[in-house]
């Protein structure tokens, strides 16, 4: 494999603006470099990225590890931000904060999607984001003791937090309205159906939703902190459970970040098998969600049929990969199990059958006025808003924002495939369902092509952890959209910091826009068409 | 409409005849008896995700599909804890969900059966005890009648766990 050369495009643009940049040698891969910039250039660099029409990927923090020998409490904090350009891939920027007063200007003036990530950063590290228009707590709920910042080294991460008595019952400062005509509907964290936990606060006038505000963080499990101190092989089981429905995507993103950090190439057969797993996961989730969307509009026939197809996939996954949801199938350096010729044939046959059945159901769905009248025109996110938020995956692709890491980043095995992009523009529930139908068909073709051209050879590379201080970054297109993972290794081959951004972190913002002006009873329908992850957001 | 009927007819009944899976057969029959005898043929279940990764929820959905059709045993999922007989809890109990879980439990009428579903609910699973964000296992927070191991447990495991809970009740 030829090594791609260093990606200097954004670095050069920043230099043109008089921003001093320095490429970090302890970060891989070189085509997604990490640049150190001065703190005073932080907001300026983001402004320049916005001008170049780059997409904000993530904002996060970590303690600096250059002087790892020093006392942990003396370590300074660093903040990172990552951007992506459709033609020029990803770039990470890093800056070091002052030890006395850890403060960084907010990016939310340039990128609104930065806001919640900055709030998480404040909660977890106790640093101060200045000029932010929203400084409320996010993951750290009101009852946490004020000085608990879970990702600081000094924080005791092994004892369950005890709520501070005087903080219990403190309420989150929701967006509210003084008008007598407007009423509030609180929903959750325990929802009516079989779904994850989170809170929605509606402001409604009559039947119409004026505003819906999300309050998440309920299923925060301390995943980032729990990853610290694990080896890569030990950590991948945890990464695969960031969000159980995208276990392949998250495990792959984690594995690839580790492999990039260690400069490790995996065998072609392993990357093909990862592709098969990921595309099968995409098909299964899209089928399940199409059924659920229809069910929320009382078109139960479709739900029954989709659940049946999904179950058939799960059973074959159990038989071939040993797990109904494909958990633990991706390993560091490769995949857990190989496929025999027979198994390949079985997978091909079932993928063909399922694709044909979905096409048949699609014709019925498209022809049924009872469902069409509910989905067409419901829950619209405009092209302008989608671009502004940087919506990801099928949600973005339904609203004219077509980022797809399988094409832009073209990591193996996708460099060998042609990936069609369903170009939706109308941005409603029906468009999102349409994109999902298209993606099922495309993913089926990919699974079959990958299996038919499966290269011979090993399915694993021997894992060799990188030196302490080395970091790796990966961007994987899971079924929901791009998962960005950043892993830094510490002493003894153990992970020192793991950051992951599930596509839901961004797409949840899209849902808030989509439900404005729809009637309250349409909320479940619109929500299902997004199906954002709570667990992936809360970590 | 004709196409819908045709499709339904073509697929036919796929609900596993009780004979096709031995384990399911015995379980199903016992379960039906237990639900009939103890709950007048109707067992209302309330699910609380106390911090799961969503894997368990997918398998609960699967238990409702036509293959397992959990409703044929008289079990159904309800939207309110007020009329739930059984509380099914998934995930390690996060510190941010602890109060909501306790409130849901308190809102239930007796007998307040509780089943902890999945390794996380039973022993905090991969997220681990000794984690600042996790208040404990489900049993650390509310009384638990039965536990179901697995990451996630399969739909058959789920049915078995509920049966164990009913038999002990």
A66-121 tens-digit pLDDT: 554 455 556 789 999 999 998 888 999 999 998 888 999 999 999 999 999 999 99
Say which of B60, B99, B131 has its CB closest to residue A222: B131
Residues A278 and A132 in one domain: no
Distance separating alpha carbons of residues A243 and A238, to the nearest angstrom: 10
Distance separating alpha carbons of residues A382 and A16, to the nearest angstrom: 34
Residues A293 and A411 in one domain: yes
Distance separating alpha carbons of residues A209 and B23, to the nearest angstrom: 49
Residues A24 and A122 in one domain: yes
H, E, C per residue of chain B: CHHHHHHHHHHCCCCCCCCCCHHHHHHHHHHHHHHHHHHCCCEEEEEEECCCCCHHHHHHHHHCCCCCCHHHHCEEECCCHHHCCEEEEECCEECCCHHHHHHHHHHCCCCCEEEEECHHHHHCHHHCCCCCCEEECHHHHCCCCEEECCCCCCHHHHHHHHHHHHHHC
Question: How far off is chain B from A322, nearest CA to CA, in Å?
Answer: 12
Task: Specify the CATH number for the domain of residue B31.
Answer: 3.40.50.12280
Asked whether residue A124 is domain-assigned, the answer is: yes
Do B130 and A159 count as a contact with CB atoms less than 8 A apart? yes
Task: Specify the CATH number for the domain of residue A50.
Answer: 3.30.460.80
Rounded to an integer, the average pLDDT of B128-138 is: 91
Residues A286 and A393 in one domain: yes
Residues A111 and A228 in one domain: no
Q: Which residues pair with A199 in a beta bridge?
A: A215
Tell me if A37 sits within 8 A of A19, measured CB to CB: yes
Nearest to A64 by CA among A157, A189, A153, A147: A153
The total of structural domains in chain A comes to 2
Residue, of A187 and B27, whose pLDDT is higher: A187
Q: What does the pLDDT read at residue B18?
A: 45
Tell me if A475 sits within 8 A of A409, measured CB to CB: yes
Count Cβ atoms within 10 A of the Cβ of residue A452 and give its class: 0-12 exposed, 13-18 middle, 19 or more buried.
exposed
Do A307 and B14 count as a contact with CB atoms less than 8 A apart? no
Cα B163 to Cα A20, B88, B148, distances in angstroms: 66, 13, 11
Residues A426 and A279 in one domain: yes
The total of structural domains in chain B comes to 1
Interface of A with B in 94-153 (CB under 8 A): 141, 143-144, 148, 150
The boundaries of the domain holding residue A524 are 223-538
Bridging pattern class, strands A495-501 and B75-77: unpaired
Say which of A219, A288, A310 has its CB closest to residue B97: A219
Using CA atoms of A483, A489, A494, A500 in order, give the dihedral in degrees to the nearest 10. Answer: -20
Residue from B20, B21, B49, B158 whose CB has the most chain A CBs within 10 Å, to mutate: B49
Question: How far off is chain B from A134, nearest CA to CA, in Å?
Answer: 21
Q: What does the pLDDT read at residue B1?
A: 81
Nearest to A517 by CA among A212, A213, A214, A209: A209
Distance separating alpha carbons of residues A223 and B136, to the nearest angstrom: 15
Contacts of A226 in chain B (CB under 8 A): 127-128, 131
ipTM over cut 0.95: no
Distance separating alpha carbons of residues A309 and A304, to the nearest angstrom: 9
Phi, psi of A500 (to 5 degrees): -140, 135
Domain end residue (candidates: A123, A149, A167) = A167
Which pair of structure tokens corresponds to residue A32? 């997604």
Q: Is A187 on the interface with B (CB under 8 A)?
A: no
Question: How far off is chain A from B130, nearest CA to CA, in Å?
Answer: 4
Q: Which residues of chain A have pLDDT under 70?
A: 1-3, 65-74
Task: Specify the CATH number for the domain of residue A456.
Answer: 1.10.645.10
Bridging pattern class, strands B75-77 and A21-23: unpaired
Do A160 and B154 count as a contact with CB atoms less than 8 A apart? no
- Residues A490-531 have pLDDT tens digits of 988 999 999 999 999 999 999 999 998 789 999 999 999 999
The boundaries of the domain holding residue B22 are 2-168
Do B65 and A307 count as a contact with CB atoms less than 8 A apart? yes
Distance separating alpha carbons of residues A34 and A208, to the nearest angstrom: 46
Nearest to A519 by CA among A362, A396, A378, A413: A378
Asked whether residue A199 is domain-assigned, the answer is: no
Contacts of A360 in chain B (CB under 8 A): 7
Tell whether the model's pLDDT for residue B19 goes beyond 60: no
Interface of A with B in 494-533 (CB under 8 A): 533
Question: How far off is chain A from B30, nearest CA to CA, in Å?
Answer: 24
Asked whether residue A212 is domain-assigned, the answer is: no
Question: How far off is chain B from A229, nearest CA to CA, in Å?
Answer: 13
Residue A294 contacts by C-beta under 8 Å, 6 or more apart in sequence?
Answer: A300, A301, A302, A303, A306, A365, A371
Say which of B60, B62, B126 has its CB closest to residue A311: B62
Residue B103 contacts by C-beta under 8 Å, 6 or more apart in sequence?
Answer: none
Distance separating alpha carbons of residues B147 and A453, to the nearest angstrom: 45
DSSP-assigned states of every residue in A180-196: TT-EEEEE-SS-SSS--
Do A194 and B126 count as a contact with CB atoms less than 8 A apart? no
Q: What does the pLDDT read at residue A73?
A: 55
Do A161 and B95 count as a contact with CB atoms less than 8 A apart? yes
Report the mean per-residue pLDDT for chain B: 86
Say which of B77, B132, B136 has its CB closest to residue A150: B132
Asked whether residue A23 is domain-assigned, the answer is: yes
Which pair of structure tokens corresponds to residue A525? 């329908």
Asked whether residue A58 is domain-assigned, the answer is: yes
Residues A113 and A237 in one domain: no
Using CA atoms of B65, A196, A503, A348 in order, give the dihedral in degrees to the nearest 10. Answer: -20
Distance separating alpha carbons of residues A138 and A62, to the nearest angstrom: 18
Nearest to A72 by CA among A189, A168, A153: A153
Q: Is A449 on the interface with B (CB under 8 A)?
A: no
Q: What does the pLDDT read at residue B20?
A: 44
* Size (chain A), residues: 539
| A210 sits in which H/E element | strand A208-215
Q: Where are the beta strands (DSSP E) in A42-175?
A: 55-63, 77-85, 89-96, 103-105, 128-130
Do B55 and A226 count as a contact with CB atoms less than 8 A apart? no
Question: How far off is chain A from B93, nearest CA to CA, in Å?
Answer: 8
Q: How far is residue A491 CA from its own chain's centroid?
A: 28
Nearest to A484 by CA among A470, A501, A504: A501
Phi, psi of A211 (to 5 degrees): -155, 145
Residues A114 and A241 in one domain: no
Distance separating alpha carbons of residues A291 and A124, to the nearest angstrom: 38
Residues A230 and A163 in one domain: no
Contacts of B51 in chain A (CB under 8 A): 197, 218-221, 535
Work out how many CB contacts closer than 8 A connect A with B: 171
Q: A263-279 burial string, b = 16+ CB within 10 Å, else e? A: ebebbbbbbbbbbbbbb
Which pair of structure tokens corresponds to residue B142? 């509310």
Question: How far off is chain A from B49, nearest CA to CA, in Å?
Answer: 6
Tell whether the model's pLDDT for residue B40 goes beyond 90: no
As a 3-state breakdown, chain A gives helix, strand, coil percent values, each rounded to 5, of 40, 15, 40
Do A363 and B3 count as a contact with CB atoms less than 8 A apart? yes
Question: How far off is chain B from A303, nearest CA to CA, in Å?
Answer: 9
Residues A268 and A375 in one domain: yes
Contacts of A237 in chain B (CB under 8 A): 126
Q: What does the pLDDT read at residue B26?
A: 60
Contacts of A247 in chain B (CB under 8 A): 55
Tell me if A110 sits within 8 A of A136, measured CB to CB: no
Rounded to an integer, the average pLDDT of B120-128 is: 91
Contacts of B135 in chain A (CB under 8 A): 160
Contacts of A318 in chain B (CB under 8 A): 154
Q: CA torsion sign, A341 to A343 to A349 to A355?
A: negative
Residues A159 and A297 in one domain: no
Phi, psi of A113 (to 5 degrees): -65, -15
Distance separating alpha carbons of residues A110 and A50, to the nearest angstrom: 7
Q: Is A163 on the interface with B (CB under 8 A)?
A: yes
Residues A398 and A265 in one domain: yes
Distance separating alpha carbons of residues A210 and B2, to the nearest angstrom: 40
């Amino acid at each position: 494999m030829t090594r791609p050369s260093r990606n200097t495009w954004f670095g050069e643009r920043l230099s043109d603006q008089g921003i001093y940049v320095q490429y970090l040698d302890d970060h891989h891969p070189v085509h997604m470099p990490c640049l150190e910039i001065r703190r005073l250039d932080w907001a300026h660099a983001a402004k320049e990225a916005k001008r170049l029409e780059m997409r904000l990927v993530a904002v996060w923090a970590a303690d600096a590890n250059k002087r790892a020998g020093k006392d942990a409490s003396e370590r300074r904090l660093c903040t990172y931000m990552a951007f992506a350009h459709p033609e020029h891939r990803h770039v990470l920027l890093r800056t070091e904060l002052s030890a006395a007063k850890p403060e960084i200007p907010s990016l939310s003036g340039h990128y609104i999607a930065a806001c919640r990530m900055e709030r998480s950063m404040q909660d977890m590290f106790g640093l101060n984001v200045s000029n932010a228009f929203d400084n409320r707590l996010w993951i750290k709920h009101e009852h946490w003791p004020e000085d608990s910042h879970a990702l600081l080294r000094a924080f005791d991460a092994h004892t369950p937090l005890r709520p501070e008595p005087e903080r219990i019952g403190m309420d989150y400062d929701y967006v509210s309205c003084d008008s007598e005509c407007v009423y509030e509907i609180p929903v959750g964290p325990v929802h009516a159906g079989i779904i994850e936990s989170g809170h929605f606060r509606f402001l409604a006038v009559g039947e119409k939703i004026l505003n819906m505000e999300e309050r998440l963080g309920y299923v925060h499990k301390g995943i980032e902190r729990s990853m610290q101190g694990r080896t890569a092989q030990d950590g991948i089981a945890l990464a695969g459970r960031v969000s159980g429905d995208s276990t392949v995507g998250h495990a792959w993103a984690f594995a690839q970040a580790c492999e990039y950090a260690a400069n490790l190439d995996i065998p072609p057969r392993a990357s093909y098998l990862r592709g098969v797993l990921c595309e099968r996961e995409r098909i299964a989730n899209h089928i399940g969600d199409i059924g659920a969307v229809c069910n929320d509009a009382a078109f139960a026939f479709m739900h029954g049929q989709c659940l049946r197809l999904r179950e058939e996939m799960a059973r074959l996954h159990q038989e071939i990969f040993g797990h109904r949801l494909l958990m633990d199938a991706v390993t560091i350096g490769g995949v857990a199990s190989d496929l025999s010729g027979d198994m390949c044939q079985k997978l091909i046959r079932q993928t063909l059958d399922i694709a044909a059945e979905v096409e048949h159901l699609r014709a019925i769905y498209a022809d049924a006025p009872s469902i069409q009248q509910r989905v067409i025109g419901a829950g619209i996110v405009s092209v302008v808003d989608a671009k502004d938020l940087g919506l990801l995956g099928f949600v973005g692709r339904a609203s004219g924002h077509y980022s797809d890491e399988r094409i832009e980043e073209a990591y193996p095995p996708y460099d060998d495939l042609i990936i069609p992009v369903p170009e939706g523009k109308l941005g409603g529930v029906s468009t999102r369902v349409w994109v999902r139908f298209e993606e099922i068909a495309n993913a089926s073709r990919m699974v079959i092509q990958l299996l038919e051209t499966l290269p011979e050879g090993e399915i694993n590379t021997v894992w060799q952890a990188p030196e302490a201080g080395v970091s790796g970054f990966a961007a994987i297109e899971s079924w929901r959209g791009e998962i960005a993972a950043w892993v830094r290794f510490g002493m003894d081959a153990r992970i020192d910091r793991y950051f992951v951004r599930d596509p839901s972190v961004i797409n949840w913002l899209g849902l808030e826009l989509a439900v404005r002006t729809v009637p309250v009873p349409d909320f479940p329908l619109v929500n299902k068409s997004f199906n954002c992850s709570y667990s992936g957001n809360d970590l | 409409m004709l196409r819908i009927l045709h499709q339904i007819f073509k697929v036919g009944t796929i609900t596993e005849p009780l004979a096709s899976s031995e384990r399911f057969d015995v379980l199903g029959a016992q379960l039906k008896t237990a639900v009939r005898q103890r709950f007048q043929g109707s067992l209302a279940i309330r699910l609380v995700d106390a911090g799961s990764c969503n894997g368990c929820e997918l398998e609960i959905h699967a238990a409702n599909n036509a293959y397992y059709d959990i409703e044929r045993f008289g079990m159904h999922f309800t939207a309110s804890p007020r009329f739930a007989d059984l509380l099914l809890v998934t995930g390690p109990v996060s510190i941010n969900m602890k109060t909501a879980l306790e409130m849901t439990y308190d809102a239930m009428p007796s007998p307040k059966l509780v089943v902890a579903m999945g390794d996380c609910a039973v022993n905090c699973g991969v997220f681990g005890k000794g984690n600042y964000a996790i208040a404990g296992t489900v049993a650390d927070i509310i009384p638990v009648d039965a536990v179901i191991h697995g990451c996630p447990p399969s739909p058959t495991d789920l049915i078995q766990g509920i049966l164990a809970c009913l038999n002990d009740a």
